[in-house]
Structure 1
Amino acid sequence: MKYIYSLLIVTLLLTSCGEGKKQSVEAVVASDNLENIRLKRAEVVVEQQKIAEQLKQLDNRIAVLDTTKKVPLITTFKAKQEVFTHYLELQGNVSTKNLLVIYPEFSGVLTKVYVKEGQRVNKGQILAKIDDGGLSQQLAQAQIQTDLSKTTFERQERLWNQKIGSEIQYLQAKSNYEAQAQAVSQIKQQMAKTVVKAPFSGTIDDVITEQGSVVGAGQSQLMRIVNLDDMYIETDVPESYITNVTVNKSVKVEFPILGKTIDAKIRQAGNFINPANRTFKIEVAIPNKDKNIKPNLTAKLKINDYTSENALLIPLSIISENAEGQQYVYTIIDKSGNKGIVKREIIETGRTQGDYIEVLSGIENDEEIIDEGARSVKDGQEVKILTSN
């Protein structure tokens, strides 16, 4: 209605101007006549509306006659069965059970350190010596007393065997000898604590206390020893994987700092679920022949928790989901040449690996699936196939 009124007004105005010889926009603008400029603008608006209506009619007719415009262009691929190996990816730190800071068992002056940093040592090898604080003299005196009591006991024993002397004399000699022998043994045990020995074979990583320092039993750190032969990675695994992550499972271990990847196996899987985070622990043994893997080094683990010999894998990007939460993809049926009909297939999916997911049901081997254009088609629609992989 507004359009009709505008047209009538412009028509009347043009009629009132004589025979209505139209002036150009440039001429009207050059006249600087406000009334004429406004009239010319109204005339141009009416012409614009006419052209818009004509374009709309033309577009509608083209849409009816041009059937190729309504056919979406897509690409497809054929689902193929292949081996699917799924990996659980975790992170862990390298550890060793043979990493120990050695503390003294005896208090005194550290009189001698026999090793240096980086030195390889064997189990039981003497590493350091602490001043015994006079125990050696006590041992010498106690040994003399022991020897004397032993001689007395042996003589008394011979007499007792010959029925000479009293039983009490024999028992006293025996008791005295045993007490002296026990005293010697105790002193020797104390003196043994003044000698620091390697608890296992390994390498002296750090000498912490220097020779000549006063050390306290169980308090002063003497040195750190490490064995890089028996290395492992310990990490926590979610409880949902307890049936798949088991002993002897294959593991790919990547050390980002070293730029190195090795193959290993799980040597131990925990039997306890941590109630705080619902995980269990595993240990992965690490071969370390070149000794460049160190304790506390960060590692990435890829654990082979699932393998399927005949899996159907499709890109995650082509999967859609309906209002009921069902996943679906579009396939091609009734194919003729490079054209076909779209069919929506409800699918059930399994594990993902990267950008792909395993399809458990809903599609078959060699079935043609829409790839590019999967988001713009509808069930039952005709499509044109550009390429097929």
Structure 2
Amino acid sequence: MKTNFQFLIIALLLLVASCGEKDELTAKKDDLAKMKKEASELRSSIEALEKEIAQLDPEFALANRKAVLISTIKPTVGQFDHFVEVTGSVLSKKNVSISGEVSGRIQEISAVEGMRVSKGQVLARVDAEAILRNIDEVQKQLELAVIIFEKQERLWNQQIGTEIQYLEAKNRKESLEKSLATLKTQESRTLVKAPFTGTVESVLVRTGELVQPGTPMFQFVGESDLFIEADVSERYVGIVNKGDSVEITFPSINQTMSTKVSAVGSIINQNNRTFKVEVFLQNMPLVKPNMISVLRIKDYESKEAVMVPNYLVLQDNKGDYIFKVEDNTSKKQYIKRGKTYREITEVLEGLTGQETLVDKGFREVGDNFMVNVAQ
């Protein structure tokens, strides 16, 4: 009984001690929170007071301004080229529609879309049965006419018969020869052939279909005389001219070539406010009609240009400016901007190329800010 009482006393003492420790910890946390709040209010008061003093005393503001950590770069001096970039499509001067030349029903179509064919290769065959029957008939008539003419000629040479009989026999033979030649020409035209080496773009007829002279049968594109056609904005009228250098890139085959503008359109398209530009292509085996290309036409160049990255050029109500570094201080330098191409801007006035410019950190600095250049 005595032992149980002792245990009870010890438990009560431990409980009291634990509560005391918790109360002490809570009090410390409360004190810390109170001090942080007071410190924050004090910092705010200090900053507000510093701003008020800085407005009244510029020297105080300059002395208490913290240095901004920056990195620097130099302007680039050298060749600056500006290009007009447009997307064009490869076309062919030999883009033709092949039509039927005789009447008849299509017996066979040997060409399919996308098929590459050589000059003279047969693309389709039209029924020539009627023409062949006419040829047989005329050939028989011609055989008889030749026999009659030869006999009449022998008699005429012997001074037998009249000249009229001789001339009629001769005319009959020659007329039948011309008719036979015409029919054979028509027979040859029942074979629709490729006019030059190229690719069958589309097949416009089907086997068994009846065609007439002039009926479109195939859209055919040659592989020679290729050129690129592109639409250029009208704001480049007078800037992009025939003979200008142009660099052509074919993204699909990852090839590039350099050439010159071969023709410039003289009409503005009222729908998209552009004019046509043509560039003839040299022989490039992998380049095909309708392939997409990117044209870079040089419209401006400067041999000794001062250049800076685009992102460094800022602007206010006075104009364009950039920050340079002098005596560990950032200085606002106004410039006259020239042309911009991709990520580079040409500077016409305001920089000589010898300045040190603020690079990283240029948005954190201002005029007459103290700076610390990172090494």
- TM-score interval (norm. to shorter): 0.5 to 0.7
Aligned to 2:247: 251
For residues 85-96 of structure 1, the aligned pairs below 5 Å read 85-96=81-92
Q: 1:250 deviation in Å? A: 3.3
Q: Is residue 228–residue 288 contact of structure 1 (8 Å, CA) maintained in 2?
A: no
Matched residue SS, 2:124: strand
Give the residue type in structure 1 aligned to 2:356.
E
Distance 1:55 1:148 in 2: 125
Change (3 A) 1:281 1:61: closer
Give the whole-Å Cα distance in 1 for the aligned partners of 2:374 and 2:63.
20
Correspondences of 1:1-389 after superposition (within 5 Å)? 60-61=52-53, 64=57, 65=60, 67-70=62-65, 73=68, 76-99=72-95, 102-114=98-110, 120-150=116-146, 152=148, 166=162, 168-203=164-199, 211=207, 213-217=208-212, 222=217, 225-228=220-223, 231-239=226-234, 240=236, 242-247=238-243, 249-255=245-251, 258=252, 260-266=254-260, 268-274=262-268, 276=270, 277-285=273-281, 288-290=284-286, 294-321=288-315, 326-331=319-324, 335-336=326-327, 338-339=328-329, 342=331, 344-347=333-336, 349-371=337-359, 372-373=361-362, 377-378=366-367, 382-387=368-373
SS at the partner of 1:68?
A: helix
Report the CA distance between 1:184 and its aligned residue: 2.1
Unaligned runs of 5+ in 1: 1-50
Contact (CA 8 Å) 2:265, 2:275: kept in 1 or not? no
Q: Secondary structure at the match of 2:129?
A: coil
The answer as to whether partners of 2:240 and 2:297 remain within 8 angstroms in 1 is no
Shift of 1:187: 1.7
User: Could you tell me how far 1:284 is from its partner in structure 2?
Assistant: 4.9
Post-superposition offset of 1:252: 3.4
Provide the rounded CA distance (Å) in 2 between the counterparts of 1:306 and 1:192. Answer: 57
Matched residue SS, 1:187? helix
Deviations 1:108-151 (A, max 9, x none): 23334455677653211233322213211211222333344455
Provide the rounded CA distance (Å) in 2 between the counterparts of 1:295 and 1:137. Answer: 43
**Distance change in 2, residues 1:243/1:176 (3 Å):** farther
Per the TM alignment, residue 196 of structure 1 is displaced from its structure 2 partner at its CA by 1.5
Pairwise CA distance, 1:52: 9.4
The TM-score normalised by the length of structure 1 is 0.65
TM-score computed with the length of structure 2 as normaliser: 0.67
Deviation at 1:386, TM superposition (A): 2.8
Q: Deviations over 1:261-311 (max 9, x none)?
A: 433434632353335334132135276535xx5543443333344343322
SS at match of 1:367: coil
Separation (CA, whole Å) in 1 of partners of 2:144 and 2:238: 68
Whole-angstrom CA distance in 2 between matches of 1:244 and 1:52: 61
Q: 5+ residue gaps in structure 2?
A: 1-42
Distance 1:158 1:241, change over 3 A: farther
What's the secondary structure of 1:134's corresponding residue? helix
Which sits farther off after the overlay, 307-316 or 200-209? 200-209
Change (3 A) 1:344 1:223: closer
- In the alignment, the residues of structure 1 paired with residue 115 and residue 314 of structure 2 have an alpha-carbon distance, to the nearest angstrom, of 63
Residue identity opposite 1:363 in structure 2? L
SS of 2:101 mapped into structure 1: coil
Q: CA deviation at 1:55?
A: 8.0
Q: For 2:50 and 2:301, locate their aligned partners in 1 and report how far apart those are by CA, in whole Å.
A: 59
The residue type paired with residue 339 of structure 2 is R
Aligned to 2:13: none
Equivalent position SS for 2:262 = strand
The whole-number CA distance in structure 1 between the counterparts of 2:50 and 2:351 is 44
For these two proteins, the number of residue pairs brought into alignment is 327
Percent of pairs with identical residues: 27
